[in-house]
Structure 1
Amino acid sequence: MIKQKTIAVDVSYTGIGLHSGTEVNMKLRPAPVDTGIVFIRTDLPEKTQIKAIASNVTSTLRATTISNGDVKIFTIEHLMSALFASDIDNCYIEIDSEEPPVTDGSANVFLELLEKAGIKEQEKEADIITINKVYRIDDKERFIMVLPYDGFRVSFTSINPHPLIGIQYHDFEFTSKDLYKKEIAIARTIAYEKEVEALRKMGLGLGGNLDNVIVYNDEGWMNKLRFPDELVRHKILDAIGDLRLAGRIKGHVIAVKSGHELNTKLAKKILADFT
């Protein structure tokens, strides 16, 4: 029997938000069984709580946003991906802004924070979502699906019209947190230089820089890559985080050109069947 898990002790981190550009103080705290992953807006008088589940997703514009009424938290996917890889079922995330810190644009800092906090096994059985049929979301040439599989695996194809990137494919089977840390967690957010100014005019990407975003232009990459296919590896990182909003899934995810919108639609579809 697989038991539920939380973190053993509080752990804190301070940084800036990728899209907001503001300083963020975040604290991860242990939570009782059956709590789930819950964000708490400590900057608000009401200390509003937002449960990290697919039904609370309200926007997927350049990031995944969850809300409780008018209160929101966005860009949660990297932290959620690290929580999945660490097998964390229950955790309070206290945050004094609308967005977690971007760290270096990957999930690695979050994974290290969870390692620092330690893992505590709890007395109740974990609720593992074992996929027992095919779930699929389509949008023209884009799709994401999950089918029954004895384990957790993501096969992702990224298709980018820019000749520098083109078609990238990566197949990742989650067999250990160490493998996730080596192959997926350190893959960073990527942006096209010409898009950056447009994003900032929309009030997005205000905290982005070459320390936390990989940027490319028509001449090439503006910073050094960690992998030749870092873009598609980061797409897998995001998909894992978005699908964690349905719970701890056991299945094979196959995606082509998917992003936060399709990922979270699939998570909502799965969640609806398992609640």
Structure 2
Amino acid sequence: MAYQTTLNSEVSYVGVGLHSGVDVHMTLQPAAADTGIVFVRSDLPGEPQVAAKASNVTSTLRATTIEENGIKMFTIEHLMSSFNAMGIDNCRILIDSEEPPVADGSSKVFMELIQKAGGKELPQLRREIVIDKLYRVDDGDKFVLALPYDGFRVSFTSINPHPVIGIQYGDYEINQEIYGKEVAPARTIAYEAEIEALRKMGLGLGGTMENVIVYNDQGWMNELRYPDELVRHKILDIVGDLRLAGFIKGHIVAVKSGHSLNTTMAKKLYEAFCK
């Protein structure tokens, strides 16, 4: 049995929100056992909190959004992915915006922040989600499976009709070492032809060539960190979205999944194990 953890000290970061485009000040703070991951809105009267749990997911349009008592936080998946890989159960995220900073478009910066703060074990057992049978969610030809497995592993197949992307497959054991080397540096992706439409919708306002990898009909417009960076980022996202259910012991198999299916699985597991 594993014990719960929190940060050993607080650590801060200042950046810009990917979709909002506004400056964000964020401080990760230690928290007591059974607090979970909570966003604390320092910019609002009374500093209301939004708990990062599957039952609070309200939107998955281009990012994962959680909401509690009318207070929203969106694009939380990269930060949540780092908490999952680093094994952090409890943290207060003091933040003055409704979106965490995008950093370099990956979860590498957040992982480094958590490493800088250090971890601390708490005298309370962790409640793990131990997959004991097949769980499945589908949306047409897209699906996510959760299977019994001694560890936490993610296998992801991305199928994109664009010739620049095509079919990409990634399969990783998710632990601090492998995630830090193979998954955390993978950045978020955009198709150049869609960027203007996204901005008219009020999305992607903080996106730049420094925090988003962009492709067009000729190829990639910036240098990739991995030839299959897209599918690695898809794995980063699903690791973050599933953290909303808790810590999972199992094998996740996903095909063409996005935030909607990811969080549907998170809700299914949360209902089965955490209610």
- Counterpart Cα distance in 2 of 1:161 and 1:99: 31
- Residue identity opposite 2:102 in structure 1: V
Q: What's the CA shift string for 1:217-251, capped at 9, x where partnerless?
A: 01111100000000000000000000000000000
Q: CA deviation at 1:179?
A: 1.3
Q: Which residue of 1 aligns with 2:188?
A: 189
Q: Which residue of 2 aligns with 1:130?
A: 130
Q: Which residue of 1 aligns with 2:176?
A: 177
- How many residue pairs were aligned? 274
Alignment of 1:1-275 (within 5 A): 1-174=1-174, 176-274=175-273, 275=275
Secondary structure, counterpart of 2:129 in structure 1: strand
Q: What's the CA shift string for 1:11-70, capped at 9, x where partnerless?
A: 000000000000000000000001100001110002110100000000000000000122
- Counterpart Cα distance in 2 of 1:21 and 1:144: 32
Regions of 4+ moved over 4 Å: none
Secondary structure, counterpart of 1:245 in structure 2: coil
- Counterpart Cα distance in 1 of 2:2 and 2:147: 22
Query: TM (normalized to structure 1)?
Result: 0.99
- Counterpart Cα distance in 1 of 2:133 and 2:43: 42
- Counterpart Cα distance in 1 of 2:2 and 2:136: 28
- Residue identity opposite 2:257 in structure 1: S
- Counterpart Cα distance in 1 of 2:267 and 2:2: 24
- Counterpart Cα distance in 2 of 1:135 and 1:212: 34
- Counterpart Cα distance in 1 of 2:161 and 2:70: 37
Q: CA deviation at 1:133?
A: 1.2
Q: Which runs of 5+ in 2 are unaligned?
A: none
Secondary structure, counterpart of 1:55 in structure 2: helix
Q: What's the CA shift string for 1:130-175, capped at 9, x where partnerless?
A: 011111110101011101111111010001111011000111112x
Q: Which runs of 5+ in 1 are unaligned?
A: none
Query: TM (normalized to structure 2)?
Result: 0.99
Q: What's the CA shift string for 1:80-122, capped at 9, x where partnerless?
A: 0000111000000011001000000000000000000000011
Tell me whether 184-193 or 121-130 shows the greater mean CA deviation.
121-130
- Residue identity opposite 2:132 in structure 1: N
- Counterpart Cα distance in 1 of 2:35 and 2:133: 27
Secondary structure, counterpart of 1:232 in structure 2: helix
- Residue identity opposite 2:239 in structure 1: I
Q: CA deviation at 1:128?
A: 1.1
- Counterpart Cα distance in 1 of 2:62 and 2:173: 26
Report % sequence identity. 66
Secondary structure, counterpart of 1:99 in structure 2: coil
- Residue identity opposite 1:26 in structure 2: M
- Counterpart Cα distance in 2 of 1:100 and 1:45: 19
- Residue identity opposite 1:80 in structure 2: M
